[in-house]
Amino acid sequence: MSVLCSCDTALKNTGSPTCKKVFGVGVNYLMVPIYANDGTANCIDATTTLNAAYFTALFNQSDDSKRFYPTGKLTNVTGERADSIKETFDNGTSVYIRQGIRNFAAMLVQGSFELAAQFNANRCSTFGIFIVDADGSVLGKKIGDDGKLYPIEIDAATFEAKMVFTTDTTIQKIMLMGQWGVLEKDDDLRMISANSITGINLANATGLMDVYVTIVSTGQTAMVVDIFAKFDDIVTNYPIEGLLTVDLASSDSGVASKIYNVTDDADIAATLAEGTQKGRYVIAYSSQTVSDKLQPYIKKNGLDGYTMRGTVGTVV
């Protein structure tokens, strides 16, 4: 973006503290929609307490337009800005027009094909990123002086997750790459130091995992289900283990320890018990009417049960 200069602009002071925090090498991106569905701008509010509870809530936000999506640990993170655009005249002088576009790239070692597909779907969204360094400090941008850090907008059309296959000497990985939005200026970049964030190192943040369900049987007092994630292998899924009754929730109201009766539009108290087969659970509830349709749903930090919606069992 070109700079509009005022005729009375003075030189700016250049002093700085002797002990100042320098942003380190990026190791994680926190992806987030620029705006939520209600029109509010997503940000990190540095005027509130920044702790594990604050960020855990953002990573597990039920409104996916307000959710933060960590990429997980990255390596070989780069972000070079192209040379500025200048007009050069016959006498050798030049005039600054605008800054060059900043490109970025990073590797996600042992990333899966399934995960690459998830990343590539983001080209259909308007989103930005916060960059996290190894210490857990967060880089974003300021808009005014409201005490909030906003995401760096990404040109979604340039965003790509490219699979890099295993070779005799290298391991499979995902290469993330793209460009910052053309209006994003380095002058606006600001950070929140890891010293201001307690109880969590954002360098280690991971995103939610989609979970799926297969209904084995549905009786009047119990349902048997397999709960799993998908990671490339179309024959063998990844079983989700260790779920508790409190992780079972109504797909309608979100209330814990419930299963939703779609036919009656009612939440039913239920328990969840893990079976001997990995990922298999028994959901027990009071007697339901034959032919009623029941919707199992999991609501737990780190998991997204949205992909379970629509899979219902018919009581027999």
User: Which residue ranges make up each domain of the chain?
Assistant: 26-204, 209-314
Q: Count Cα neighbours of 11 within 13 Å in the Cβ-side half-sphere.
A: 3
- Using alpha carbons, list the distances in angstroms from residue 19 to 16, 22, 87, 147: 9, 10, 39, 22
Instruction: Give the per-residue pLDDT at 142.
Output: 96
> Which residues, other chains included, contact 59 with Cβ-Cβ below 8 Å and sequence gap of 6+?
67, 68, 69, 70, 205, 207, 208, 301
Q: What is the rounded CA–CA span in Å between residue 112 and residue 130?
A: 23
Q: What is the rounded CA–CA span in Å between residue 129 and residue 183?
A: 15
Q: Which two three-digit tokens encode residue 9?
A: 């602009």
Instruction: Give the per-residue pLDDT at 88.
Output: 93
Q: Count Cα neighbours of 54 within 13 Å in the Cβ-side half-sphere.
A: 16
Residues 226, 218 contacting (CB under 8 angstroms): no
Residues 309, 301 contacting (CB under 8 angstroms): no
Instruction: Give the per-residue pLDDT at 18.
Output: 75
pTM value is 0.89
Q: What is the rounded CA–CA span in Å between residue 64 and residue 42?
A: 11
Instruction: Give the per-residue pLDDT at 16.
Output: 77
Which residues in the chain show pLDDT less than 50? none
Instruction: Give the per-residue pLDDT at 80.
Output: 92
Would you tell me how many other CB atoms lie within 10 Å of the CB of residue 250? 20
Range 78-82 contact pairs with CB under 8 angstroms and sequence separation of 24 or more = 78/103, 78/104, 78/105, 78/106, 79/26, 79/103, 79/104, 79/105, 79/131, 81/186
Q: Which CATH code, of 3.40.50, 1.10.15, 2.60.40, 3.90.1690, is assigned to 209-314?
A: 2.60.40
Per DSSP, the three-state class of 186 is helix
Instruction: Give the per-residue pLDDT at 20.
Output: 73
Q: Which two three-digit tokens encode residue 60?
A: 């597990």
